[in-house]
Amino acid sequence: MNLIGKILTPEHVLLDLDVASKKRVFEQVGLLVENTRGIARSEIFDCLFAREKLGSTGLGQGVAIPHGRARGLKEAMGVFIRLKTPIPFDAPDGKPVQCLFVLLVPEQATDLHLQVLSELAQLFSSRQMREQMLGVSIRDELYQLLNNWVPNA
């Protein structure tokens, strides 16, 4: 199993989310985390928005990895989102984003989150994986695709 599979659950895979901005994405993630982990949606929104103010987490090629340190979170967690329609994300290539992996870590996070970010960058750099993520129509299939992906050693 990869590190992504250790922090992602099927319930945290959202397909065809219909939002028009990164702010709305962060609001939806906040709502999801509040409902599944009991952490205030405002805490999640604020930590993601604060990180985004430092510089876009858009990687290019239609993907982004928003991330932040959340008070009250006990362990790292992820949320994979495929948007119904790509949105502007200030990515380096100027392309809108359709696939996002939101990484949330505890305030006192270890270097695990850096390893997860590295793995996510590897995952999203694969054109084949990006195409597969866009082509899957069932949440559990997308979860399995992400969970079974093998990073380069």
Query: Looking at the annotation, which residues are catalytic?
Result: 67
Quick check: helix, strand or coil at residue 150? Answer: coil
Angle at CA 128, nearest 5°, toward 123 and 132? 90
Q: What's the CA gap between 66 and 28, in Å, rounded?
A: 13
Q: Are strands 77-87 and 97-106 parallel, antiparallel or unpaired?
A: antiparallel
CA distances to 3, 22, 45 from 67, in Å: 15, 12, 10
Strand-pairing partners, residue 101, are 80
